């Protein structure tokens, strides 16, 4: 799966939405409208607010990203993915980097 399709399928909806809400069809069909959207200027998009229940009496306000705006964001991430990975590989704090051990067990 290409990175853009993966980002479109997995990343646009908040985890608080019920399981029926997915963006997989958006990812499957993005090539049908990609050339038309690429021909246009990148739009300014606003997010839609909604609140979700919490365990307390208070509700959590979260936002839904406009699909058009998310497409452009995902496209930029895809375009710069190699540079993003390179940047993260330089980090000394990582889940995949293990510290070098210079101690000896006696």
pLDDT in tens, 1-17: 589 999 999 877 877 77
Q: Quote the pTM value.
A: 0.72
Q: Is residue 105 part of a domain?
A: no
> Which residue from 64, 66, 57, 67 is spatially nearest to 29, judged by alpha carbons?
67
Q: Is residue 14 part of a domain?
A: yes
Q: Is residue 18 part of a domain?
A: yes
How many Cα atoms within 13 Å fall on the side-chain side of residue 63?
8
Q: Supply the range of the domain harboring residue 62.
A: 3-89
Q: Is residue 37 part of a domain?
A: yes
- The pairing of strands 48-53 and 59-64 is antiparallel
Number of independent structural domains in the chain? 1
For the chain, give percent helix, strand, coil, nearest 5: 45, 10, 45
Q: What is the pLDDT of residues 5-61, one digit of tens each?
A: 999 998 778 777 777 888 899 899 999 999 998 888 888 989 889 888 877 788 888
Q: Is residue 98 part of a domain?
A: no
Q: Is residue 79 part of a domain?
A: yes
């Amino acid at each position: 799966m290409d990175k853009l399709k993966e980002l479109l399928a997995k990343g646009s909806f908040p985890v608080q939405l019920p399981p029926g809400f997915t963006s997989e069809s958006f990812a499957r069909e993005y090539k049908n409208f990609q050339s038309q959207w690429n021909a246009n200027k990148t739009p300014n998009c606003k997010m839609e607010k909604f609140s979700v229940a919490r365990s307390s009496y208070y509700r959590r306000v979260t936002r839904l990203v406009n699909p058009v705006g998310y497409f452009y964001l995902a496209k930029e991430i895809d375009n710069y993915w190699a540079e993003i990975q390179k940047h993260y590989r330089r980090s000394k704090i990582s889940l995949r980097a293990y510290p070098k051990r210079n101690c000896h067990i006696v």
